[in-house]
Amino acid sequence: MCRKAEIAEKVSVAGYNVTETLCVGKDPDGNAVECEFKGSCPYFRQLSERREGPGLLIGAHAYLPIRMEMLAEKRLDLVVIDETWWQSMVRHTSSPIDRFTAKRQPGWNSRQYGPRKGESAQANQHRFLDDADEFDRVQLKATTAIRAAYDARRNVTLADFRAAGLTTGDCGFAAGVEYSRLGRAELHPGQDHATQHEAVQRAVDREAFTLARTWRCIGAELATQRTGPLMSLRFEYDRLNRKTGTLENLLRLDYSVEGLFQTVPLLMIDADADPMLIERFYPNATFNQVAARWTGTRVRQVTDRTGSKLAFKEKSNRDRVRGIALDLVDQLAPHIEAIRRRNRLKERSATLDPRPLVVCQMQVEDAWKEEGHAIEYDGGPRVPDAPFRVAHFGNVRGKDDWRHTTAAIIVGRNEPSAPELERVTRALFYKSEEEVPEIEANDRGRIVLPKRAVTMTAKDGSKATVQVSYHPDERADRVLRQIREAEISQAIARVRPVHRTEDDPCEVLILTNVPGRIQPDTFATWAQLVPDRFRTMELAGFVPDLAPDCADAYPTLFDSPAAVRQAASRRNAAAKCDASYESSFYRGCHTFEGSIRVEYRREGNRRGRQGTVALRPGDTPETVAQRVREALPDAYAVVLLGALPDPLEAAQVALDAAIELDAYIEEVEAEGGVIWWRVPAATVSLHGERNVVRPVARPLLDPDPGRVSAF
DNA sequence: GTTTTGGCAATGTAGCCATC
DNA sequence: GATGGCTACATTGCCAAAAC
C-alpha cells in the first residue's frame, strides 16, 4: 500500500499524473526529484521486478480508482480482483453550502492557465478572464436553484437546476475551474510527505476537491432524465462543526468513484458477488458459478434470535453468547486437546490453533475486553488461557488465521440503518435513471426497514420461517444483503470449509436467523444452545450435589437453595429417568470422563457432602481441593473419591467402572436380587468398543474405596 | 456395642407471580 | 400460553446423641 495513498487518490481525481507528481519527477526549477519513500516502496519494487520479465503486481483495492503509470492498462495482461471491493469505491464528503455559493476565481497559477504554444500573454490573460466570467454565470445558475430550495427547507431537485438553465457541460467546466485553484507548482515528488500533505490540505481547505466533485455529481445527474431530488447531493441543516463548535448548513455528497481496467481482461473472485453491483462498475461482466463441496463442516443456525446491535448491549445476552461458546469449547475439548498434542511443537502458530473462533460485533468484543475475560482478539497478543479466539465483523475478510479451528460461532449480524443503507445505495447508483425510494418515518418518527417472512430449509429437511428486514428497492436490498449476509458468509469462510476433510472437521454455529447463502445442516433454538444453570456450573468446573452448596458457590446463578431445588426439579421433570441414571452412575463410579467426585465438609455441619469437579491438565489432589475451597471458602477436609488419573485416561477408567458395575448388577440379578436401574447403554458405547480382558478384582461397592486426602 | 430417637437438612410438589 | 423464579408445605432421610 502506498504510504501517500490518500494524497495519491486526490491527485489522481484532480487529473494529475500521480507518478510524476508524487513518485519521480521534477521540481519547479527542473531538478530531478523522487519520493522520500521510494526506496521502501513496494510499488516501485514490484515495478523494477516486473521490468525483468513477466510478473505479478499486488495492490490494495484502494488502487482501483487511481490512475498510476505502472497500472496503465496497456502494461497489464490480466487484472484479478479478490472479494468484495465495491465498498472501497463509495465516498462521502460535505462542505458548507455558503462555501459552494461564495464568489471565487479560477487559479491563475495552475497549469491550466500556463502559456500555451503560440499563445500570446494577452490571449492567455483573456482566456483566464473569460473563464472567470463564465464561471460566474454557471455559479449563478446553480446558486439560484440551491438558494430557492434551501429557503424552502427542501432538497434541491434536478428540475430546479434545469429551470435555472444549468447543463452537464456547465458542470464539467466549473469542475475544471475548481481544480485550477489547486495550483500547479505546489506539488512535486521532491517534497517530503508532510509538505505534500500540507499542499493537498491547503487545496482541501480551499475545498477545491469537494467543490469540483459537487459539480461533477450535479453534472452526472443532469445527464439523466430524472427530475426529482439529486441522489448524490443532500442538504444537512444545523450540523455541528466539531472544530469550530458552530452550527453549519452543509451540502452532503454521497457518490462512488469509477473503476479502472475497463479495457483489460479482468477476473473477479467473489463468493458473494452480486451481478447488479458489479455491473454498476463493469457493465460487460459475465458471471460463472463454481460449485464447491464442503466436507467435514457442520453448520447449525438459530431461528429465533436476530442478534441486533441493541440485543448485545445487554450484558445478559453477551453472557449467554459466552456460555454457548464455552459449552461448545467444552464439547470439543477432547478434539482440541488431541490436535494440540499433535501440534505440540508448532503451537505458537496462529494458523494451527484449534481453539474455536467467535465472530461478533465490535461492541461485543470491546465489552468482553472491558469485563476482564481472558480474550484473544484478532490483532492482539496471544492469550493461551483464552478458551476461544475472537474477531469482529468487517475485520475478517481475506484472513487465514483460522484455517484449522475446530469451530466458528457467528454472533448476530451487522445491519445498516435504513438511512445509511439508502445513502450507500444512492452513492452507488447516483448516475442511474431510477431514484432510490426512501423509507418513511413510522408513527414514532423512526425510520426502520420493513420485515417480511422468509422460509428457510435446512439440509436435514426441517423448515423455519423467520422475519427478515429488507428494503423495497431492489438495489438497496442487494446492498443490504452484501453488507449483512455477505459478512456472515465471509465470517464462515474463515474456517476454509472448502479445504476441510472428514479428518479436519469444523462445527459452525450461526447465532442469527438472517438467512444467508449457506444452507445450514440443521436448525436450533436459542434455548437449546444457551447452557442452563446446571450446565453453567459444569462449565465452571464444580457441581456440588447439594442445593445449598450450589447456591453458595454460584450466588449469581441461584438466589437460594430453594431456587436450586426448584430448577433441578423442573430440569428433571423434562428428563427424569436420565437424571436418576446419571446421578446414580456418578455416585457409583469414582471417576468419570474428565471429572472426579469429591467429598468435603462445611463449617457448622459435620456431615460429609459430595460434588463433582472437572479435571484440568496437570491437576493434583491439592489443585482440585483448592478449586472446591475457591467456590466454597468454608469447605474443609476435602477428599477425592478414588485415585486421580490423567484426565485423558479418565474415560478409560470410567469405562472400566461401567463395565464392572454392569457385571456386578448381572451377578446380583442372577442371585435373584433386584436392582432398579442399569448403566445406560449409551454410556458404555460412548467411548467406543474396547476389549476388556477381565473386570478389575476390587469389589465395586468397597466400603473403603481408596480415598486420597488433599491434606 | 447396638438400637432408638430427636433435630434438622434436604427433597419434591403445588401454586403464585412476572416476563416474554 | 410457556417459561423461569420464588415461597410454602409435607415428607424423607441422615447424623449424632441418648438410651439400652
Domains of chain A as residue ranges with CATH: 4-256 (no CATH), 297-435+448-529 (3.40.50), 533-677 (no CATH)
Q: List the one residue out of A397, A126, A96 whose CA is nearest residue A270.
A: A397
Segment among A339-353, A446-460, A644-658 with least mean pLDDT: A644-658
Is A38 in contact with A23 (CB distance < 8 Å)? yes
> Which residue, A411, A407, A415, is CA-closest to A486?
A415
Mean pLDDT along residues A173-199? 74
CB-CB neighbours of A498 under 10 Å: 12
pLDDT at A408: 92
Is strand B within 7 Å of residue A563 (CB)? no
Strand partners, A411: A511
Q: How far apart are CA A324 and CA A312, in angstroms?
A: 14
CA distance A413 to A220: 35
**Higher local confidence (pLDDT), A160 or A690:** A160
pLDDT value of position A558: 78
Tens digit of pLDDT for each residue in A329-344?
A: 888 888 888 888 787 6
The end-to-end CA distance of chain A, in Å, is 63
| Per-residue b or e along A412-433, where b marks 16 or more CB atoms closer than 10 Å to that residue's CB | bbbbbebeebbbbbbbbbbbee
* pLDDT tens by residue, A549-605: 888 888 777 777 777 777 776 665 554 333 333 333 333 344 455 677 787 887 766
Per-residue flag: A566 CB under 7 A of strand C: yes
**A561 beta carbon to strand B: under 7 Å:** yes
Contact between residue A511 and residue A309 where contact means Cβ atoms under 8 Å apart: no
Rounded average pLDDT over A402-425: 88
Q: Can you tell me the distance from the alpha carbon of A420 to that of A404, in angstroms, rounded to the nearest whole number?
A: 36
d(CA A276, CA A227): 24
Q: Provide the pLDDT for residue A173.
A: 92
Question: Does A390 have pLDDT greater than 80?
Answer: yes
Residue A570 Cβ under 7 A from any strand C atom:
yes
> What's the mean pLDDT when you consider all of chain A?
77
Give the pLDDT confidence score for residue A688 in this predicted structure.
38
What pLDDT score was predicted for residue A662?
A: 67
- Please give the residue that has the higher pLDDT: either A125 or A695: A125
Which nucleotide is the nearest neighbour of A565, by CA and C1'?
B11
pLDDT of residue A33: 79
Taking the C-alpha atoms of residue A182 and residue A211, their distance in angstroms, rounded to an integer, is: 11
Quickly give A596 CA vs B10 C1' distance in Å: 23
CB A228 within 8 A of CB A400: no
CB A362 within 8 A of CB A412: no
- pLDDT score for A652: 59
Q: Could you give the percent of chain A with pLDDT greater than 70?
A: 78
| Strand C proximal to A562 Cβ, under 7 A | yes
Q: How far apart (Å, rounded) are the C-alpha atoms in residues A184 and A27?
A: 11
Residue A380 CB: number of other CB atoms within 10 A?
13
pLDDT at A693 exceeding the cut of 90: no
Report the distance from CA of residue A467 to the C1' of nucleotide C1 in Å, as an integer: 21
Q: How far apart are CA A212 and CA A253, in angstroms?
A: 11
| A197-200, Cβ contacts within 8 angstroms, sequence gap of 24 or more | A197/A4, A197/A7, A200/A7, A200/A10, A200/A11
Asked if residue A562 keeps its beta carbon closer than 7 A to nucleic acid strand B, the reply is: yes
Closest CA to the C1' of B13: that residue is A569
| Per-residue pLDDT band at A205 (split at 50, 70, 90) | low
> Which positions in strand B are less than 7 Å from the protein's CB atoms?
9-15
Q: Which of A115-119, A342-346, A672-676 has the highest mean pLDDT?
A: A115-119
Mean pLDDT to the nearest integer, A457-465 = 85
Strand C closer than 7 Å to the CB of A70?
Answer: no
Distance A541 CA to C12 C1' (A): 30
8 Å CB contact between A20 and A71? no
DSSP class per residue in A26-38 = E-TTS-EEE-TTG
* A560: nearest nucleotide, CA–C1' criterion: C6
Amino acid at A506: C
A111 touches strand B (CB under 7 A): no
Read off the pLDDT of each residue in A370-375 and give the average, rounded to a whole number.
Answer: 82
User: What's the average model confidence in pLDDT over A316-322?
Assistant: 80
Orientation angle between helical segments A168-180 and A121-151, nearest 10 degrees: 120
Dihedral of CA atoms A497, A502, A503, A508 in degrees, nearest 10, equals: 40
Instruction: Kindly write down the DSSP assignment for every residue of A188-254, as one continuous string.
Output: -TTS-HHHHHHHHHHHHHTTHHHHHHHHHHHHHHHTSS--SB-SSEEEEEEEE-TTT--EEEEEEEE
Report the alpha-carbon distance of residue A483 to residue A494 in Å, rounded: 17
Q: For position A164, what pLDDT does the model report?
A: 94
Residues A55-107: pLDDT tens digits?
777 777 777 777 776 677 777 888 888 877 888 888 888 888 888 888 888 87
Q: Residues A355-369: what's their mean pLDDT?
A: 87
Percentages helix, strand, coil for chain A (3-state, rounded to 5) are 40, 15, 40
Between the CA atoms of A567, A571, A577 and A582, what dihedral angle is there, to the nearest 10 degrees? Answer: -70
**Cβ A621 vs Cβ A711: under 8 Å:** no
Residues 501-540 of A with CB under 7 A from strand C: 527, 532-533
Query: Does residue A546 lie within 7 Å of nucleic acid chain B, judged by its CB?
Result: yes
A569 beta carbon to strand B: under 7 Å: yes
Averaged pLDDT, A11-26: 71
Closest CA to A642 of A697, A695, A586: A586
Q: How confident is the model at residue A672 (pLDDT cuts 50, 70, 90)?
A: low
At A158, is the pLDDT very low, low, confident or very high (cuts 50, 70, 90)? very high
Q: Residue A602, CA: closest nucleotide via C1'?
A: B9
A606: Cβ under 7 Å from strand B? no
Q: A384 by DSSP, 3-state: which? A: coil
Most confident of A83-87, A363-367, A441-445: A363-367
Question: Nearest nucleotide, C1' to the C-alpha of A569?
Answer: B12
* Burial of A239 from C-beta contacts in 10 A (0-12 / 13-18 / 19+): middle
Taking the stretch 604-643 of protein chain A, residues with Cβ within 7 Å of any atom in nucleic acid chain C are: 606-608
Residues 435-464 of A with CB under 7 A from strand C: none
Q: How far is the CA of A563 from the C1' of B17 (A)?
A: 15
Contacts 24+ apart (CB under 8 A), A455-464: A456/A301, A456/A303, A456/A515, A456/A519, A456/A520, A456/A523, A457/A519, A458/A301, A458/A519, A458/A520, A458/A521, A458/A522, A458/A523, A459/A519, A459/A520, A459/A521, A459/A522, A460/A521, A460/A522, A462/A522, A462/A523, A464/A303, A464/A513, A464/A523
Nearest nucleotide (C1') to alpha carbon of A570: C4
3-state secondary structure of A677: coil
A152 CA, B5 C1': separation in Å? Answer: 95
- Protein residue closest to B14, using CA and C1': A566
pLDDT greater than 50 at residue A472: yes
Global pTM exceeds 0.85 = no
Rounded CA-CA distance A33/A191 in Å is 8
All three cell numbers of A141, joined, read 445558475
- The bridge status of strand A233-240 relative to strand A247-256 is antiparallel
A61, three cell numbers: 483495492
What is the helix (H) or strand (E) element at residue A97, kind and residue range? helix A97-101
* Distance from residue A703's CA to nucleotide C14's C1', rounded to whole Å: 18
Residue A420 pLDDT > 90: no
Whose CA is closest to A654, among A584, A586, A593? Answer: A593
Closest nucleotide over all strands to A546 (CA to C1'): B10
| d(CA A623, C1' B1) / Å | 41
A23 CA from B14 C1′ (Å): 84
So what's the pLDDT on residue A685?
43
Residue A545 approaches strand B within 7 Å at CB: yes
From the alpha carbon of A532, which nucleotide's C1' atom is closest?
C4
Residue A532 has pLDDT above 70, yes or no: yes
Distance A603 CA to C14 C1' (A): 17
Give the CA-to-C1' distance from A546 to B20 in angstroms. 31
The percentage of chain A sitting over the pLDDT mark of 90, rounded to a whole number, equals 14
- Among A588, A574, A583, smallest CA distance to A665 is for A588
pLDDT at A586: 39
Q: How far is the CA of A637 from the C1' of C18 (A)?
A: 28
The CA distance from A18 to A62, in Å, is 14
Cβ of residue A558 lies below 7 Å from strand C: yes
Q: Which pLDDT belongs to residue A85?
A: 82
| pLDDT tens digits for range A247-276 | 888 888 899 988 888 888 889 888 888 899
pLDDT for the residue numbered A578: 37
B19 C1' to A704 CA distance, Å: 50
Give residue A178's identity as a one-letter amino acid code.
E
Side-by-side strand order, sheet with A506-511: A376-377, A389-392, A357-360, A407-411, A506-511, A297-302, A522-524
DSSP A9: H
**pLDDT surpassing 60 at residue A494:** yes
Lowest-confidence region among A174-188, A345-359, A447-461, A568-582 = A568-582
| Dist CA A506 CA A403 (whole Å) | 10
Cell (9 digits) for A194: 508532510
Of residues A604, A593, A613, the one with CA closest to residue A682: A593
**Nearest protein residue to nucleotide B11, judged by CA and C1' positions:** A565
Task: Compute the average pLDDT of residues A280-288.
Answer: 90
Contact A430, A228 (CB under 8 A): no
The rounded distance, in Å, linking the Cα atoms of A213 and A12 is 13
Tell me which DSSP letter residue A115 carries.
Answer: P
A568 touches strand B (CB under 7 A): yes
Residue whose C-alpha cell is 436476530: A306
